[in-house]
A and B are shown apart, each in its own frame.
Chain A
Amino acid sequence: MSTDNLVEARQVRKHFGRLEVLKGINLNVARGEVTCLLGPSGSGKSTFLRCINHLEKIDGGELLVDGQHVGYQRKGNKLYELSDSRISRHRADIGMVFQRFNLFPHLTALENITLAPTKVLKQSSSVVGARALALLERVGLADKAGSYPSQLSGGQQQRVAIARALCMEPKLLLFDEPTSALDPELVGDVLDVMKSLANDGMTMIVVTHEIGFAREVADTAYFMDHGVIVESGKPQDVLVNPQTDRLREFLRQVL
């Protein structure tokens, strides 16, 4: 399956008990593109993001990353869930950055970054170590390699988390509200790192409330509400000239 799309979602459905949180999501992400998912809380945007690397299982439709189902194998008309080890192999290609950072508190910044490449990808520790230090340098934290997460500010922790995801050399990076838990003055540093990644051609899907970032960096913006995509398109169009009352209302509240 040769396509320019790195991520393809077709009619993705998901429910928690009786609550339907995704009601048929269609979305394509081209290689090297930055996609922003916007929407009020409870609109399903984070759930959709977590479906992409199989942290949540989908209940219908299909979701492909690089032409492969994530966590499933298609045989005929059915998707069979894969074993833990095969799902893990899929996930290793997809980086994720969380709202609450989720750094490993018992490991230093450097150990946080090097653990998965050495243990999962089985790369030599000298190669990984050099790459990790270069990544720390890139996110502006070269002097924090030996610090534990508890000794870092929120913004620094999130930048370590980004470096941790990057060290796996993923083909796709998922950001789940990466700046929502940060103090306002720390947001800028994290967004700067994300912008430089975007400029380098990293394929990114970003769930965010930062309208300014979406307008400046995103190639495509999606506005979700109640489990459906309400509007989508170039952020300059969608976010400047909203077509629906729902998005107009949302933008008024956020801005």
Chain B
Amino acid sequence: MSSEVPEGVHSTAPSTTTANSDETSSSGEVSSLKVVPLRSPVRYVSWALAAIVVAMFVHTLFSTTTRFGQDGMQPRFEWHIVFQYLFDRVFVYGAIVTVILTATSMIVGVAIGIGLAAMRLSKFGVFRVSAALYVWFFRGTPVWTQLIFWVNLAYLYPIISVGLPFGSTWHSWSMSGFETNFFLVAIIALGLNEGAYMAEIVRGGILVVDHGQVEAASSLGMRRALAFRRIILPQAMRSIIPPTGNETISMLKTTSLVAPALGAISILGITTGDINEAAVNILSRNYHTIPVLMVAALWYLFLTSVLSIVQYFIERHYGRGFVSTSHRRERRSLRTALEESPR
């Protein structure tokens, strides 16, 4: 009955029927047949072309060129200036500021995002509506505007009081000092803004988790909060991490708005700016615009690379138990199995 053996499926038993009967004459050869994957010459040609283009570009990085209004050949990129400033104290402090601002803002943002996402999925309408309004407001206004508003909070609300509505006051706090604590203002402004974006990312991740997981958790007597923490969120993390990596890398550069909007930040007893502020300060003095900005770009690239590596390990952690993580390994084991099986 097995007249239709799928192509490529070779049984080790020589007597089975094959579509082409002339091929089955020598049984010894069939068992030692090797599968050769398709290798197109396009593969090698395309690599060669790409290598040439890259070589040409790298050459331009280190070659000289003529410039309008200047005699003779000039270096196109002034690498000696780049290396002169690459590990300048101002940039090192700038990198520290950028990293601390990014990390703290993201921690605030992720915490707010998880809370808001849980509120969006709550059975209580007041939570759903207020979370939706929050997201609407903080996504709908520019970060720059939010930074300026927060630093002016002390002018708009100089005293914050707790008490009965329109009645007696129990306790009051003066907001004086808040308008000069740029670090705190920056974390609040960036964190609250990020929370709105993270809320949607977390909500999307939760929606991906199969509803059967909630039912299984409920049937085991888990309360909603426990099921959310131990069952839903760890699975949602798989789809939350990649866009969160995006957000973190984006935040790395958004922190460059803080210094122009507010001013220099005091961290570890040093008042300084972030990477971008360091570049702006230096190039406004020596006018080496391109090389100094290249230093800033290299620092941002370096930090982004570190974050990508961190993201890889976090993804691997939350991917445990899912087929997709072992996909590569499975593909490899499948390949070796194919190569080794009929021996």
Contacts and interface: CB of A to CB of B under 8 A. Distances in A.
Interface stretch (A83-91, A204-212, A214-222, A225-233): A83-91
A168 B220 contact: yes
B195 to A, nearest CB: 25
A114 B244 CA distance: 31
Interface string B215-227: 1111111111010
B213 A150 contact: no
Contacts of A55: 215, 218-219
B191 to A, nearest CB: 28
B320 to A, nearest CB: 7
A136 interface: no
* Most chain A beta-carbon neighbours within 10 Å: one of B210, B222, B235: B222
Interface stretch (A36-44, A102-110, A137-145, A191-199): A102-110
Contacts of B218: 55, 88, 91
A164 B221 CA distance: 12
A123 to B, nearest CB: 12
A84 B221 contact: no
Contacts of A98: 212, 215-216, 219
Given A102-B213, A105-B235, A120-B226, A148 B219 contact: no
A135 interface: no
A119 B224 contact: no
A94 interface: yes
A149 interface: yes
Nearest to A111: B321
A53 B219 contact: yes
A94 B321 contact: no
Contacts of B1: none
Interface residues of A, number: 33
Interface string B25-45: 000000000000000000000
B322 interface: yes
A108 B318 CA distance: 13
Contacts of B326: 150
Given A55-B218, A102-B212, A107 B321 contact: yes
A115 interface: yes
A105 B210 CA distance: 11
A45 B200 CA distance: 38
A178 to B, nearest CB: 13
A84 B122 CA distance: 13
A27 interface: no
A115 B322 CA distance: 19
A106 B221 contact: no
A32 interface: no
A199 to B, nearest CB: 24
A170 B222 CA distance: 14
Contacts, number: 80
Contacts of A15: none
A55 B221 CA distance: 11
Nearest to B234: A106
Interface in B278-326: 318, 320-323, 326
Interface residues of B, number: 24
B321 A105 contact: yes
B96 interface: no
A119 B320 contact: no
Contact of B323 (A88, A91, A150): A150
B230 interface: yes
Interface in B206-251: 210, 212-213, 215-224, 226, 230-231, 234-235
A88 B221 CA distance: 4
Contact of B321 (A53, A91, A115, A148): A148
Contact of B219 (A94, A100, A106): A94
Given A98-B216, A102-B215, A168 B221 contact: yes
Contacts of A105: 235, 321-322
Given A104-B213, A106-B318, A92 B235 contact: no
B320 A106 contact: yes
Given A94-B219, A106-B235, A115 B213 contact: no
A94 B216 CA distance: 12
Contacts of B323: 150
B221 A92 contact: yes
A160 to B, nearest CB: 12
A88 B230 contact: no
23 contacts: A55-B218, A85-B223, A88-B218, A88-B222, A95-B219, A95-B220, A98-B215, A98-B216, A100-B212, A102-B210, A104-B217, A106-B321, A116-B217, A116-B221, A116-B222, A120-B220, A148-B321, A149-B321, A150-B321, A150-B326, A164-B220, A168-B221, A174-B219
Given A104-B217, A149-B321, 16 more contacts: A88-B221, A88-B222, A91-B220, A92-B220, A93-B221, A98-B215, A98-B216, A102-B212, A102-B213, A103-B216, A106-B234, A115-B230, A116-B217, A120-B226, A148-B322, A174-B219
Q: Which 10 A-B pairs have the closest CB atoms?
A: A92-B221, A148-B321, A102-B216, A116-B220, A96-B219, A102-B212, A120-B221, A91-B221, A88-B223, A150-B323
